[in-house]
Amino acid sequence: MSFPEVKHVPILAQEIVQSLVEPFSQSSLDSPSCWLVDCTFGGGGHTASFLKAFEATPALRRHRILALDQDPEAVQRGKLRFQEEIRAGKLEILQENFGNAGHLLAQRPVLGLLADLGFSSDQLEDRSRGLSFQWEGPLDMRLNPTQGRSCLELLQQSSELELEKILRELGEERFARRIAASMVESRRRGQLPQTTKDLVDLVVRATPPYARHGKIHVATRTFQALRIAVNEEMEMLDRLLQDVVTRVLPCGRAAIISFHSLEDRKVKNQFKNKDFFHALTKKPIEANEDELRVNPRARSAKLRIAERLPV
């Protein structure tokens, strides 16, 4: 099986490597081999940076990396790209949602954990997924197409109040009520959007004319909200923070990149819990201008890092 070349550029890779590899550098040579976990493998950019950092220092080469992703295509692509590292025992790649990682990590000594909560460029630009309003595609939006409801099914099955709540809370959409009402009315008439283009047209019609030409596309927040809802991102983040990070990571560090104020608030509040963590970032780390020139999608990224207190 062949895959298109990976386009995704890892965000804040240098800052993440410096922060997460440090505990491995401090571990004694007679301590057991430990794991660094990339919970959101995606295009493999962060994993590649971790492998390079471990290889550059002989004392770190005994440690290993576990990469997880719910997207079966990302997993297969990664196994082809890193087949030598996998054969050498330096890397293991598994298909799993980061919120369900607890059972995989419970028996492994973990010194570092990364979760990048954004969608990769490869996923957004795959028209068959329907994740972006920029290309026409089916209203699916699932990262794992074999599980859960598609976006179209969500629109078919949700009440007007449920849709309004999704748009308002997950997309911070100011016209959530109008857009939700339009969705339900279209459904009543048997004209529910079937493609991304159809959904964009609905959002444009439901938005007042004066608000259709802002700094961002009028459908941006609606698509963001529906992507998060379809993939249950908030629920999975809660499980990551509560079940995985606090219970499975007995020491070491956790780094989480968020792209939405609701996500960032959850991470911030958990890392402020002094029973479990020592926060290493009082304010989130953001991409500098040099990185933004190369990767404009990093503009909304917020990185928080915390050290897990010994139990």
Tokens representing 18 are 């410096």
Q: What's CA 246's distance to the chain center, in Å? A: 19
Confidence of residue 162 (pLDDT cuts 50, 70, 90): very high
Q: Rounded to 10 degrees, what is the CA torsion of 130, 133, 135, 138? A: 30
The answer to whether residue 257 scores a pLDDT higher than 90 is yes
207-253: pLDDT as tens digits: 999 999 888 899 999 999 999 999 999 999 999 999 888 887 878 99
The answer to whether residue 2 scores a pLDDT higher than 50 is no
Confidence of residue 94 (pLDDT cuts 50, 70, 90): very high
CA pair distance 129, 131, nearest whole angstrom: 6
Determine the pLDDT at residue 165. 98
Domains present along the chain, CATH in parentheses:
13-122+233-308 (3.40.50.150), 144-230 (1.10.150.170)
Stretch 33-46: mean pLDDT: 94
Determine the pLDDT at residue 296. 86
Helices 160-171 & 176-188 angle (0-180, nearest 10): 140
Determine the pLDDT at residue 166. 98
The answer to whether residue 311 scores a pLDDT higher than 80 is no
Stretch 70-98: mean pLDDT: 96
Judge whether 197 and 217 are in contact, CB under 8 Å: no
**pTM score:** 0.90
Tokens representing 222 are 């609606």
* Residue 235 CB partners (closer than 8 Å, separation 6+): 99
Lowest mean pLDDT among 23-37, 82-96, 204-218: 23-37
The answer to whether residue 114 scores a pLDDT higher than 60 is yes
CA pair distance 251, 111, nearest whole angstrom: 6
CA pair distance 213, 236, nearest whole angstrom: 34
Give residue for tokens 């849709």: 163
Residue 149 burial (C-beta neighbours within 10 Å; 0-12, 13-18, 19+): middle
Residue 22 burial (C-beta neighbours within 10 Å; 0-12, 13-18, 19+): middle
